[in-house]
């Protein structure tokens, strides 16, 4: 079967992009990266794409007169590579309702918290201040409101006493690198479908039974 064509939008380091590049290097992975687009030139993520032989484009928001013009240029670049699923991976521009509606249910994002908790920036600092005992990361379909939309996959980890924003962020990031390829796989295989505000995921019976038994308690006692 043809692999789903991805367009990955970045603004910087691109470690989640790298996780997708590594996953897609397996010919059995059901998606391939058709283009990587950055709104900032010379970022590490672009170098990662180039090293993997993936086409890149820079669509600079400052070179466009307003957000709709910037976003038209994004859609033009995505369409030029026949992109069918847009993956936001550390893309630091807010997107208008027009763009998000155009790509509705064909655009996903990764966020470093267990949404709907801790939307926005500086999540790990706020997680630590709040005293919650678990945090994690979320891949979700994008809606016009920031960090909103049907959730595809979440990964949860315990918050440990002594954690700093950096130590917690590093453990969350390692989980991000696992769940983003998984979410793309589920969408590409047609196993993750948006139903209302949620995503129904088709899971093998065995995995469903295992998940039903899973409990993690922190502190363990
Ligand atoms: C990640 O923490 C992601 O969840 C957030 O931005 C960060 C991007 O990191 N949206 P990277 O560029 O993928 O390394």
Same fold, 1-103 and 110-216: yes
Residue 198: C-alpha distances to residues 144, 149, 207 (Å):
16, 8, 19
pLDDT digits (tens, 9 = 90+) for 165-220: 999 999 999 999 999 999 999 999 999 999 999 999 999 999 999 999 999 999 99
CA of 176 to the centre of ligand 1 (A): 8
Give the right CATH number for 110-216 from 3.30.2320.50, 3.40.50.170, 3.30.1330.90, 3.40.50.2300. 3.40.50.170
Residue 27 confidence (pLDDT): 97
Please report, for the chain, the start and end positions of each structural domain, with discontinuous segments joined by +.
Answer: 1-103, 110-216
Is 177 among the residues known to form the active site?
no
Distance CA 196, CA 76 (A): 29
pTM for the whole structure: 0.98
CATH number corresponding to 1-103: 3.40.50.170
Residue among 81, 111, 140, 177 flagged as catalytic: 111
pLDDT digits (tens, 9 = 90+) for 144-173: 999 999 999 999 999 999 999 999 999 999
Closest C-alpha to 173, from 189, 187, 157, 185: 157
The residue whose CA has the least distance to atom 9 of ligand 1 is: 90
CA of 221 to the centre of ligand 1 (A): 33
CA of 188 to the centre of ligand 1 (A): 21
Does 90 contact ligand 1 (Cβ within 6 A)? yes
Mean residue pLDDT of the chain comes to: 97
Q: What is the DSSP letter of 52?
A: T
């Amino acid at each position: 079967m043809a692999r789903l064509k991805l367009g990955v939008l970045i603004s910087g380091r691109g470690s989640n992009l790298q996780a997708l590049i590594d996953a897609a290097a397996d010919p059995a992975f059901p998606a391939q990266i058709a283009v990587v687009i950055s709104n900032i030139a010379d970022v590490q993520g672009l170098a990662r794409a180039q090293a993997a032989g993936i086409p890149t484009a820079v669509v600079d928001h400052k070179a466009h007169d307003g957000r709709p013009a910037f976003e038209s240029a994004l859609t033009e670049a995505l369409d030029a590579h026949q992109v069918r699923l847009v993956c936001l991976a550390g893309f630091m521009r807010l997107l208008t309702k027009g763009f998000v509606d155009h790509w509705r249910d064909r655009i996903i994002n990764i966020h470093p918290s267990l949404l709907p908790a801790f939307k926005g920036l500086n999540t790990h600092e706020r997680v630590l201040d709040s005293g919650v005992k678990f945090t994690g990361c979320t891949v979700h379909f994008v809606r016009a409101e920031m960090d909103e939309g049907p959730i595809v996959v979440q990964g949860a980890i315990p918050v440990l006493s002594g954690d700093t924003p950096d130590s917690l962020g590093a453990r969350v990031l390692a989980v991000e690198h696992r769940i983003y390829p998984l979410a793309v796989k589920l969408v590409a295989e047609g196993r993750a479908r948006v139903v209302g505000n949620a995503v129904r995921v088709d899971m093998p019976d065995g995995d469903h039974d295992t998940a039903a038994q899973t409990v993690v308690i922190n502190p363990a006692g």
